[in-house]
């Protein structure tokens, strides 16, 4: 199962080696747990940028799709990490991972919102 903007595998990669083992095992249970995170992330991206990327996904070029994948997988990975932080080695590890994902998510959103980028995004 997948969302529109990213695969569950991208979320697991970004959540790291110590993500909850139920999510990392690739079983149906893992997919069922990750898809809501992905769907929520997609909705946040759509609302934050005031554009419905998921409905218009097929018309986008590969570069724009990659920015959307980055944003969705970063936010969904933050949700996966916060679901169960007990597998990580320390609170500092969790904090660093969340900070890196948060910064990358914000960078992607800024690119998608940037009025100077709209021509590229819509004409590609």
pLDDT along the chain (124 residues), means of 10: 78 90 72 89 95 92 94 96 94 97 97 81 68
Left if phi > 0, otherwise alpha if psi is -120 to 50, otherwise beta: which for 26? left
Whether residue 79 is contained in a domain is answered as: yes
Whether residue 46 is contained in a domain is answered as: yes
Q: State residue 44's pLDDT score.
A: 97
d(CA 104, CA 13): 14
Range of the domain at 34: 8-123
Q: State residue 28's pLDDT score.
A: 61
DSSP code for 88: S
Whether residue 3 is contained in a domain is answered as: no
d(CA 33, CA 27): 10
Whether residue 66 is contained in a domain is answered as: yes
The domain total for the chain is: 1
Backbone phi, psi, residue 116, to 5°: -70, -20
């Amino acid at each position: 199962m997948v969302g529109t903007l990213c695969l569950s595998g991208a979320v697991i990669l970004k959540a790291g080696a110590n993500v909850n083992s139920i999510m990392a095992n690739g079983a149906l249970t893992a997919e069922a747990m990750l898809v809501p995170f992905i769907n929520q992330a997609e909705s946040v991206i759509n609302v934050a940028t005031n554009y419905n990327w998921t409905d218009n996904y097929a018309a986008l070029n590969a570069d724009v799709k990659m920015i959307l994948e980055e944003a969705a997988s970063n936010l969904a990975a933050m949700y996966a990490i916060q679901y169960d932080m007990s597998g990580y080695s320390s609170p500092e590890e969790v904090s660093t991972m969340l900070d890196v994902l948060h910064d990358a998510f914000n960078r992607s959103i800024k690119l998608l919102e940037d009025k100077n980028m709209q021509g590229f995004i819509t004409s590609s």
